[in-house]
Amino acid sequence: MYRKMMLGGMMVAMVLCVGCGGAEGMTVEEKRMNTLSMEEETLARFVAQEPLVRGKVAKAAGYGVFSNSNVNVILISAGGGHGVVTDNATGQKTYMRMGLAGVGLGLGAKDYRVLLIFRKKETLDKFIDSGWEFGGHADAAATSGEKGGEASSQGAIGDIEAYSMTEAGLALQATVAGTKYWKDDDLNE
């Protein structure tokens, strides 16, 4: 029974992660426009919730905005998403992907947005060139459209300030997860 639950949980997580690639059937240009639209809407929501974010983004070396989906089934957590990182000095946009995998107790799925503010140019460049790995989170979220409670958080890791905001979903989880960010070769041709 336990083995069937684990296999079922892993299958659900894998299917949902494959779907995180999103935008199937869109051209490369449509995918870029979709990502830039998500970036604009997400930044506006973060600024509305925390007005100081506007000044932090403007003064930073750069920033990244990501749309993520996460599924937690029993002991398995998995997710993925996409986003764009902007170098404030040059205006250069780098399209990126992200993936998450982990273990821990929980159940549910959620769609959330992440804003990363890079205080130093070296940190920004390293993130773009090498990606980034990060681990560990615990949260509770319950949203559906305009209803429900919305969980958001902020924190700093070195020279990166991170904000997250739940878009939709229902999840209660405490997991140790690794998140990896990397360049999207298809969109950065």
What is the distance between the alpha carbons of residues 100 and 133, in angstroms, rounded to a whole number? 9
What is the distance between the alpha carbons of residues 64 and 119, in angstroms, rounded to a whole number? 12
Structural tokens at position 35: 């990502």
Element (H, E) at 99: strand 93-118
Query: Model's pTM, two decimal places?
Result: 0.74
Name which residue leads in pLDDT, 2 or 127: 127
Beta bridge partners of 112: 68, 166
What pLDDT sits at residue 100? Answer: 81
Name which residue leads in pLDDT, 181 or 61: 61
SS3 2: helix
Name the most confidently modeled range: 61-70, 89-98, 151-160. Answer: 89-98
100-152 tens-digit pLDDT: 877 666 666 768 888 999 999 999 999 999 887 665 544 444 444 444 344 45
Name which residue leads in pLDDT, 91 or 19: 91
Position 19, amino acid: G
Q: How do the domains of the chain map onto residue ranges?
A: 2-183
